[in-house]
Amino acid sequence: MPDTAPEADGVVHGRVPLTQPGMTVSTWHAALAGLVAAAVALGTGELLASIGDYGRSLVITVDSLVIETTPGDATRAGIELFGTADKPILVTGTVILALLFGAALGVASRTHRWVGPVGFAGFAFLGAWAATVDELAPPGQSALIAAVAGVAGAATLSGLLAVAEGRRGRGTSQLLVTDNGRAGDERPSSTTGGQRPTDPVVGAAEMPTDKVATRRAFFGWAGAAGAAALATTGIGWAIRGRSRAEVVRAEVVLPEPTRFARDVAGGLEREVPGLSPLITANEDFYRIDTALLAPEIDPDRWELSVTGLVDTPYAIGFEELLGMATTEHDVTLSCVSNEVGGDLVGTARWQGVPLAELLERAGVRGTAEQVVGRSVDGWTSGFPIGAVRDGRPALVAVAMNGVALPLEHGFPARLVVGGLYGYVSATKWLTEIELTGWDDFDAYWVPRGWSKEGPMKTQSRVDVPRDGRHLRVGRQPVAGVAWAGTRGITKVEVQVDDDPWMDARLGTELAGSTWRQWVLEWSATPGEHRIRVRASDGEGEVQTSEETDPAPSGATGWHTIHVTVEA
Ligand SMILES: Nc1nc2c(c(=O)[nH]1)N[C@H]1C(S)=C(S)[C@@H](COP(=O)(O)O)O[C@H]1N2
Ligand SMILES: [Mo]
């Protein structure tokens, strides 16, 4: 009845069949239908991906593929442009693209019905294909999710177009119009009902009413589909939010370390507000990685294997790892992408099993030259085996500042090696340590244009005062941090304008591979001033003034700020 009545009605009253297929859908309605259909497909994917332990959002999978296949230069340009917001921006951009693609499918479907199903099949195929490349996506499950999402999208589009054409879904209001009209016809005499222009229901007023009903039905259904898309997405995220990894992480009981890091009461930050604390709090610690979402690892199913050029490869579970003797080390970690004066550097108290012990258990062969750390998502770092043997801290870390590693910092285990940039050493979500020859393997960033070895360069940064500040005349502390890999910091000097360099007072040295705080009491005089800093490392080498970019091996140059002192 709902489907046939309007046409029957139209014929009875000689109405122009405005509601026939393909006649009345405007471009905007079609675009909206396609956009909502794409949203339904995405929402369906989010909901299905949240079911079970290993599902993965198709958007994330596709974006992981984007990151993986983007040339290193472009990735770096993206990071430089957007900073740590690069990932939210990528995901948002992908969703917007998908919605626009859906809108285009909607418009094209007005004239070519097959475009919708084919387009959504393409959508689904992209998701399924990306899952074969994304190490964290289960290919079979992802293909199934993609297929269902594609069907949901295609069905939504065709349904909404049908409603927009008035073929379907106008519900009660349309039925009333129809029944009234027919009732009028069947009424015996006095009323000629339907034919009269003044009739409120049929006649001249009928076409607009019909159109309005159709339009109202369309927006109703489109709104409902949009709401369903948001709801499925929200429910999916809510389910995933209660991740097992977070729950298990909260329950981890850390062993007592057999070696403690040096106990210091605190740093110069107590004297100088605004100075970076000696130890960076976990929530303030910078985060850099190629993972769109921190991998969610259930430690009960996680294993770390030691492979490659060893006599007896083995694998070890989380419990067993925690049962080994652990040591605690303060280590400053820095990203090679850190600009002079930048904040992609931090110091934490790491607790873990010495890498040397884990390697010894496997019996490292004499031909091994490189230690490769491989993450569950396939990311790799690689550094010379000498770093495990020269006495610097080199750990498979399980804790950061007294708690199990935060998910985004590598739970359940990561590598931490003193004096090396993160990209060559600090594999998070570690699952394999492979020993190779130096030339037999290049880790993730090496073919993307970064240098194979990544010893940290000597750097110093002014934290107080901030660049561009207006200050008052008189006593003004100038303070910051300086670091030099495992070489340590022996001197920090500050220069105001072209005055002679002044020695800053150094804070406590936590360890040889951490940064050192410094402060200089400056008597600020009125006017504009340039302030710059340089550090000397434990080998007596003064930090170079030569300015180089972060690529390929770390930025150099002196951090320089400008302040105005008011009289
Ligand atoms: N699995 C994985 N580990 C990784 C990375 C990554 O992309 N994936 N990035 C590395 C880089 S470049 C840096 S600088 C450090 C940053 O560690 P953080 O995020 O804990 O500060 O992690 C390293 N470990
Ligand atoms: Mo990095």
pLDDT at 95 over 80: yes
Span 104-108, mean pLDDT? Answer: 96
Q: Are 413 and 350 in contact (CB under 8 A)?
A: no
Q: Are 450 and 420 in contact (CB under 8 A)?
A: no
Name which residue leads in pLDDT, 464 or 48: 464
CA 119 to CA 291: how far, in whole Å? 28
Q: Are 414 and 405 in contact (CB under 8 A)?
A: yes
Average pLDDT, rounded, for the chain = 87
CA 226 to CA 232: how far, in whole Å? 10
pLDDT at 447 over 50: yes
DSSP-derived 3-state class of residue 408: helix
Q: Are 268 and 388 in contact (CB under 8 A)?
A: no
**Nearest CA residue ID for atom 5, ligand 1:** 289
CA 373 to CA 242: how far, in whole Å? 29
Ligand 1 atom at minimum distance from 290 CA = 7
Distance (angstroms) between ligand 2 centre and the Cα of 286 equals: 10
Number of H helices, E strands in the chain: 14, 19
Distance (angstroms) between ligand 2 centre and the Cα of 429 equals: 15
Name which residue leads in pLDDT, 94 or 206: 94
CA 507 to CA 330: how far, in whole Å? 15
CB atoms within 10 A of CB 55: 21
Q: How far is CA 40 from CA 216, 224, 243, 272, in A?
A: 20, 10, 24, 53
Closest ligand to C-alpha of residue 551 is 2
pLDDT at 559 over 60: yes
pLDDT at 514 over 70: yes
Nearest one of 530, 523, 469, 459 to 492, comparing CA atoms: 459
Span 98-121, mean pLDDT? Answer: 94
Name which residue leads in pLDDT, 406 or 193: 406
Ligand 1 atom at minimum distance from 375 CA = 1
Pair of tokens at residue 166: 């008035």
**Nearest CA residue ID for atom 19, ligand 1:** 287
CB atoms within 10 A of CB 49: 28
Residue type, 141: Q
**Nearest CA residue ID for atom 21, ligand 1:** 287
Q: pLDDT per residue over 523-540, tens digit each?
A: 999 999 999 999 999 999
**Nearest CA residue ID for atom 8, ligand 1:** 289
Nearest one of 242, 244, 237, 238 to 46, comparing CA atoms: 237
Q: What is the pLDDT of residue 61?
A: 87
Span 212-237, mean pLDDT? Answer: 91
Name which residue leads in pLDDT, 111 or 313: 313
CA 465 to CA 269: how far, in whole Å? 13
CA 565: distance to chain centroid? 41
Lining ligand 1 with CB less than 6 A are 285-291, 333, 335, 375, 377, 379, 409, 422-423, 426-429
Span 440-469, mean pLDDT? Answer: 97
| C-alpha radius of gyration, the chain, whole number | 33
pLDDT at 445 over 60: yes
Q: What is the pLDDT of residue 22?
A: 45
Helix axes 27-49, 115-133, angle to 10 degrees: 30
pLDDT at 215 over 80: yes
- Taking CA 112 as the corner, what is the angle to CA 108 and CA 117, rounded to the nearest 5 degrees? 80
Q: How far is CA 217 from CA 58, 173, 222, 223, 245, in A?
A: 31, 9, 8, 10, 45
Read off the pLDDT band of 189 (50, 70, 90). Answer: very low
Q: pLDDT per residue over 127-183, tens digit each?
A: 999 988 888 888 888 899 999 999 999 999 999 999 988 877 655 433 333 333 333
Share of the chain above pLDDT 70, in %: 85
CA 89 to CA 94: how far, in whole Å? 8
CA 429 to CA 164: how far, in whole Å? 50
pLDDT at 103 over 90: yes
Which pTM was predicted? 0.76
Residue linked to tokens 């959002």? 57
Entry field: residues in the chain: 567
Q: What is the pLDDT of residue 56?
A: 83
491: left (phi over 0), alpha (psi -120 to 50) or beta: beta
Count Cα neighbours of 461 within 13 Å in the Cβ-side half-sphere: 22
Read off the pLDDT band of 58 (50, 70, 90). Answer: confident
Q: What is the pLDDT of residue 169?
A: 62
Q: What is the pLDDT of residue 182?
A: 38
Q: How far is CA 28 from CA 33, 215, 242, in A?
A: 8, 12, 39
pLDDT at 187 over 50: no
- Which of 64, 84, 279, 423 has most ligand 1 atoms within 8 Å of CB, for mutation? 423
Residue linked to tokens 């200089």? 520
User: What is the layout of strands, in order, in the sheet containing 502-503?
Assistant: 470-472, 560-566, 527-537, 489-496, 502-503
Q: Are 412 and 297 in contact (CB under 8 A)?
A: yes
Distance (angstroms) between ligand 1 centre and the Cα of 357 equals: 23
Q: pLDDT per residue over 465-493, tens digit each?
A: 999 999 999 999 999 999 999 999 999 99
**Nearest CA residue ID for atom 13, ligand 1:** 422
CB proximity list for 77: less than 8 A, separation 6 or greater: none
CB atoms within 10 A of CB 212: 11
Q: pLDDT per residue over 343-400, tens digit each?
A: 999 999 999 999 999 999 999 999 999 999 999 999 999 999 999 999 999 999 999 9
Q: How far is CA 398 from CA 250, 273, 349, 412, in A?
A: 13, 31, 11, 6
Q: pLDDT per residue over 68-77, tens digit each?
A: 777 766 766 6
CA 509 to CA 489: how far, in whole Å? 8
CA 470 to CA 562: how far, in whole Å? 9
φ, ψ of residue 468 in degrees (nearest 5): 85, 0
CA 289 to CA 400: how far, in whole Å? 17
CA 121 to CA 155: how far, in whole Å? 11
Q: pLDDT per residue over 229-288, tens digit each?
A: 999 988 888 887 656 788 889 899 999 999 898 887 779 999 999 999 999 999 999 999
CA 411 to CA 397: how far, in whole Å? 9
CA 99 to CA 467: how far, in whole Å? 42
Closest ligand to C-alpha of residue 408 is 1
Closest ligand to C-alpha of residue 554 is 2
Helix axes 27-49, 58-69, angle to 10 degrees: 90
